[in-house]
Chains A and B, each alone.
Chain A
C-alpha cells in the first residue's frame, strides 16, 4: 500500500526557508488522479492546508501563504517537496504530507505521512 514519509530539518532559523520532502513508497507519484499535498498543525491547534501539486506541475496554495510557498515534484525520486520562505515562530508546527484523491473529491486526504515537527527559533 502507498505510504508517505516526511523528511527535513527539525529546526529552522527565523527569516530562513523551511524545506521538507515527502517520499512516496508503494506506488508511483506519476500515476494520475492524486494531488500531492502539504498540511500543517501547530501544537494543540487545528489543521491548516498549505497547498498541493499535481503531477502535471499544476499548483494551488493557501492564499494566506502563497507569497512564501513553493512546491515541486521529482518523479525520478518519487518525491514531492515544500519550500516555505521567510519563516517566523508562527510557522512552528507539525507538517504533514498527504495524498488527495481526486475521485473522492476536493478535501479527501486519504493517505497521510506521520508528520514532522518543525520549530522556528534562533
Chain B
C-alpha cells in the first residue's frame, strides 16, 4: 500500500484535458514539494514536474502541476496518444525520512 494515494486509472480522448490527483498527509505533501513522473511501457520513469509546478527542460507545457494543502494534481492538456503511460507522484516524507511514491495512475487515451 502506497503512502501517497492516486486513482489507479484515468482516461481521455485526444485533445482533452485530463487531471490526475495525488493525496498525502501533513508529513509529506503537506510540508514538502511534489514531483511527477511519466513511465511509458517498458521504460524507466521520466521526471515531468519538480517542486510542485516546475517543468524540466524539454517537457512540453501541456503538462502542469499544482498543489494545495496535502494534495496535488497533474494536468495534461491537449491529450495525445503518446501520453498513454503510467504517472507517479512523489514527495519527501518527514516521518519516514525519505521520498515516497503514489501507487501510479494508468492513463489511457481513448
Contact = CB atoms under 8 A, between A and B. Distances in A.
A26 interface: no
A107 B91 contact: yes
Interface stretch (A7-15, A72-80, A111-119): A111-119
A104 B101 contact: no
Interface stretch (A17-25, A44-52, A82-90): A44-52
A83 to B, nearest CB: 18
A45 B88 CA distance: 11
Interface residues of A, number: 22
Interface in B28-44: 32-35, 37, 43-44
Main secondary structure on chain B at its contact with chain A? strand
B32 A104 contact: no
Contact of A109 (B2, B45, B104): B45
A106 B43 CA distance: 23
Chain B: interface residue count, which band? 20 to 34
A47 B101 contact: yes
A68 to B, nearest CB: 15
Contacts of A96: 44-45
A63 B97 contact: yes
B45 A112 contact: yes
A108 interface: yes
B105 to A, nearest CB: 10
B99 A106 contact: yes
A108 B35 CA distance: 7
17 contacts: A47-B90, A47-B104, A49-B100, A63-B97, A96-B44, A104-B50, A105-B51, A105-B92, A106-B32, A106-B33, A106-B99, A107-B33, A107-B50, A107-B92, A108-B47, A108-B51, A109-B37
